[in-house]
Homo-oligomer: A and B are copies of this chain.
Amino acid sequence: MMPTEAPYRVRFEPDGIITAAARGDNLLDVARRAGVGIAASCGGDGVCGTCRVVIEQGEIESPPATQLCSEEIATGVRLACRCRVMSDLVVSVVLEARVPASTGHLRSLVTREEIMAAAGWRFAPPVFKLYLELPPPTLQDNSSDLTRLERALEKHGIENPHCDVGLLKKLAASLRDCGWKITLSFLKEPDGLRLTNVEPGDTRDSLFGLAFDIGTTGIRGELLDLTEGRVLTQGVEYNSQRSYGDDVVSRIAYSSKPDGLDTLQQAVVSTLNKLTGEMSRHAGITKSDIAHIMVAGNTTMVQLLLGLDPKHLRLSPYVPTAAALPVVRAGDIGLDVGKATPLSVIPSVASYVGGDIVSGLVGTGIFQRSETVLYIDIGTNGETVVGNKEWMVSAACSAGPAFEGGGIRHGMLATGGAIESYRLDPSTGQSEVITIGGEKPRGICGAGLISVVAGLLLSGVINQKGKFNIGTSYRIRTGSDGLEYLLTPAQETGISRDIVLTEIDIDNLIRAKAAMYAGYQTLLQSVDLSFDKLDKVIVAGTFGSHLDVEDAVTVGLLPDIDREKFVFVGNSSLLGTRLSSFSTELIEAGKRVARLVTNIELSENADFMENYTASMFLPHTDARLFPNVAQRLETSADEATR
């Protein structure tokens, strides 16, 4: 390569940071790449006028900026977001535009737990603030407050922003409270800007967002600083809708009762308000400073939140009201923040593949990757997606509540005292029980159930149909539901009763894992892929954090492939809402992903039914699909006979 084609050298003062740039590069982007902190409230859209720099040496190309006065232009002041690099440069960041070194670090956007996350996006939240000082009205110029505001906005290149009449109610007082100094909040919409708040004085420092993952059981939230790009605090609450049914099917049934839909909507809103209150208090901010809310949830949760009748979600052919939903004013659904605060919803794919999955696909960056990934969310409703940045296919199946402890004699949620791991030494019959929090056992959570069944299978206590091999353990006995296995005797538990596993429990687990496995299998068959062609298997959801991969493969819940390919990502739906709160690029990505994904309905699919039946075995009726497990079972059997 010729030396003349080498990139230009740009030095940013006062930090003296030197970096390289290509001809025509955007100067704000160059600064960001180099880690130079330049404030740009609007995210670099040329609107707010904050990213002021002085071009000390060198050439740039820049269109005239109305935010700069002629004096500033004469002294070399420019807006970094409007400058293109045309030579080597020395650039000073003006004092007001400098971002303190302690903030602005994009690293903090992703917590340690999340080992996969979308990358390469620009920090530009969907909302921004603009501070204006207006000339007060006089008898010679007594135009309306809004006209005066619009004139000032035109200087920032903002024309005809959308504006609710509700906000105008606050305008007169806000303008006069601080001597015609005012801060406006805007939402970036595909067709322009929407005014979402007016506040007296300069409130640019206070720009906060909420990210929520609305689950059927629990709701997780984060309070975000949208100026600095960081998580201020997190919170979790049970979804108050639980009083009206444990799963989406019972909630949908309840919604068709008189006032049922309203009741469910108010229930979820009350939980969101509770979380918002807690997090705001904890972070020491006022709720009215919350400028944006980003929500993901399964399709039923989202329709209930917005008051949309979910009836057709569970009636064939399973049609949601809307995949992509318009932005909602928080006040319209009763959220206790500013009335016009925009609430955005991550779009869904289908009735049983919701925005929580799309949010996960965005958050984990699958939409950016060339490698082929299987994305699994294990739960009552098991959702699976396979694909990469080019294509994605999804499927959902009803696994039943076994993974959350439902339908299991001593089943419970994954909280303190739940057995999460069980080790049985086949040669000695000795067992080792590990509980969450190390407390005395109170029951078995989903991960524990898998661990127990895997242990019993490998030790020959149960056969591959999930039935007890009588005589293989003194712990096998007959209880009220037939044969059962004593896991922990009463005196060692926290509930003063024996904790047992029944054949019915095992049967329920087999049905649940068979549905999940048949789901992935049918999905892969539909795109002519086999499990060993996958580059990665991402297991999403908090369920995965307690799960042992080996156990999950042993029972046939996860495929028997290279264990290195499995990645457990925690709550990737919440991750997706957080990152989308930080970047309009990722909001757009979510829309693209939701459209990109093709959903396959499994509920009336013949292949799925066949795969399901074949999976009703531990690990599977076709041993060739689980070669490693088959080998371990043989080894165990040999050891037992030896």
Residues of A within 8 A of B (CB): 137-139, 142-147, 160, 162-166, 168-169, 171-173, 176, 190-192, 306-309, 311-312, 316-326, 328, 332, 348, 350-351, 599, 601, 604
Highest count of chain B CB atoms <10 Å: which of A139, A166, A322, A348: A322
The 9 tightest CB contacts between A and B, nearest first, are A146-B322, A142-B317, A144-B323, A144-B320, A139-B317, A137-B319, A137-B317, A139-B601, A144-B322
Complex-state Cα separation, A165 to B304, whole angstroms: 12
Contact A308 B139 (CB under 8 A): no
Contact B322 A166 (CB under 8 A): no
Complex-state Cα separation, A348 to B162, whole angstroms: 19
Contact B142 A350 (CB under 8 A): yes
Contact A309 B165 (CB under 8 A): no
Contact B142 A351 (CB under 8 A): yes
Nearest CB in chain B to that of A605: its residue: B139
Contact A168 B306 (CB under 8 A): yes
Neighbouring B residues of A322 by C-beta, 8 Å: 144-147, 168, 171
Nearest CB in chain B to that of A318: its residue: B142
Q: List 19 A-B contacts (CB under 8 A).
A: A137-B319, A139-B316, A139-B318, A142-B318, A142-B319, A143-B319, A143-B323, A144-B321, A144-B348, A145-B321, A146-B323, A160-B191, A164-B326, A165-B332, A166-B332, A168-B306, A168-B322, A172-B321, A191-B192
Neighbouring B residues of A176 by C-beta, 8 Å: 312
Neighbouring B residues of A328 by C-beta, 8 Å: 165
Contact of A173 among B146, B164, B309 (CB under 8 A): B309
Given A169-B308, A326-B163: A321 and B142 within 8 A (CB)?
Answer: no
Nearest CB in chain B to that of A261: its residue: B169
Neighbouring B residues of A147 by C-beta, 8 Å: 322-324
Given A191-B192, A351-B142: A165 and B325 within 8 A (CB)?
Answer: yes
Q: Give A587 Cβ to nearest chain B Cβ, in Å.
A: 15
Neighbouring B residues of A137 by C-beta, 8 Å: 317, 319
Contact B190 A160 (CB under 8 A): yes
Q: 16 new A-B pairs (CB below 8 Å) besides A142-B318, A169-B307, A176-B312?
A: A137-B317, A139-B316, A139-B601, A142-B319, A142-B350, A145-B319, A145-B320, A146-B322, A146-B323, A147-B323, A164-B326, A166-B332, A169-B308, A171-B322, A172-B321, A191-B192
Complex-state Cα separation, A348 to B173, whole angstroms: 20
Neighbouring B residues of A192 by C-beta, 8 Å: 191
Complex-state Cα separation, A144 to B165, whole angstroms: 31
Contact of A312 among B164, B172, B325, B604 (CB under 8 A): B172
Given A171-B321, A318-B142, A321-B144: A326 and B165 within 8 A (CB)?
Answer: yes
Complex-state Cα separation, A324 to B146, whole angstroms: 8
Tell me whether chain A's interface is mostly helix, strand or loop, or mixed: loop
Neighbouring B residues of A320 by C-beta, 8 Å: 144-145
Nearest CB in chain B to that of A310: its residue: B172
Q: Give A260 Cβ to nearest chain B Cβ, in Å.
A: 14
Q: Give A316 Cβ to nearest chain B Cβ, in Å.
A: 7
Neighbouring B residues of A145 by C-beta, 8 Å: 312, 319-322
Q: Give A550 Cβ to nearest chain B Cβ, in Å.
A: 37
Neighbouring B residues of A323 by C-beta, 8 Å: 143-144, 146-147
Given A160-B191, A168-B306: A604 and B139 within 8 A (CB)?
Answer: yes
Complex-state Cα separation, A278 to B191, whole angstroms: 40
Neighbouring B residues of A166 by C-beta, 8 Å: 332
Complex-state Cα separation, A387 to B351, whole angstroms: 61
Neighbouring B residues of A190 by C-beta, 8 Å: 160
Neighbouring B residues of A168 by C-beta, 8 Å: 306, 308, 321-322, 325-326
Q: Give A426 Cβ to nearest chain B Cβ, in Å.
A: 47
Q: Give A122 Cβ to nearest chain B Cβ, in Å.
A: 23
Q: Give A164 Cβ to nearest chain B Cβ, in Å.
A: 7
Contact B139 A326 (CB under 8 A): no
Complex-state Cα separation, A120 to B449, whole angstroms: 79
Given A137-B317, A144-B319: A169 and B309 within 8 A (CB)?
Answer: yes
Complex-state Cα separation, A40 to B326, whole angstroms: 29
Q: Give A485 Cβ to nearest chain B Cβ, in Å.
A: 41
Complex-state Cα separation, A176 to B309, whole angstroms: 13
Neighbouring B residues of A162 by C-beta, 8 Å: 326
Contact of A321 among B146, B317, B332, B599 (CB under 8 A): B146
Neighbouring B residues of A332 by C-beta, 8 Å: 165-166
Complex-state Cα separation, A182 to B288, whole angstroms: 40
Neighbouring B residues of A319 by C-beta, 8 Å: 137, 142-145, 172
Q: Give A332 Cβ to nearest chain B Cβ, in Å.
A: 7
Highest count of chain B CB atoms <10 Å: which of A137, A172, A307: A172
Neighbouring B residues of A165 by C-beta, 8 Å: 306-308, 325-326, 328, 332
Q: Give A585 Cβ to nearest chain B Cβ, in Å.
A: 19
Neighbouring B residues of A143 by C-beta, 8 Å: 319, 323
Complex-state Cα separation, A325 to B176, whole angstroms: 20
Contact of A142 among B139, B146, B325, B601 (CB under 8 A): B601
Complex-state Cα separation, A119 to B307, whole angstroms: 47
Neighbouring B residues of A191 by C-beta, 8 Å: 160, 191-192
Nearest CB in chain B to that of A595: its residue: B147
Q: Give A509 Cβ to nearest chain B Cβ, in Å.
A: 29
Complex-state Cα separation, A317 to B142, whole angstroms: 6
Complex-state Cα separation, A617 to B519, whole angstroms: 95
Complex-state Cα separation, A348 to B143, whole angstroms: 10
Nearest CB in chain B to that of A146: its residue: B322
Neighbouring B residues of A163 by C-beta, 8 Å: 326
Complex-state Cα separation, A318 to B138, whole angstroms: 9
Given A166-B332, A319-B144, A326-B163: A172 and B311 within 8 A (CB)?
Answer: yes
Q: Give A140 Cβ to nearest chain B Cβ, in Å.
A: 8
Nearest CB in chain B to that of A141: its residue: B317
Neighbouring B residues of A309 by C-beta, 8 Å: 169, 172-173
Q: Give A152 Cβ to nearest chain B Cβ, in Å.
A: 14
Nearest CB in chain B to that of A189: its residue: B162
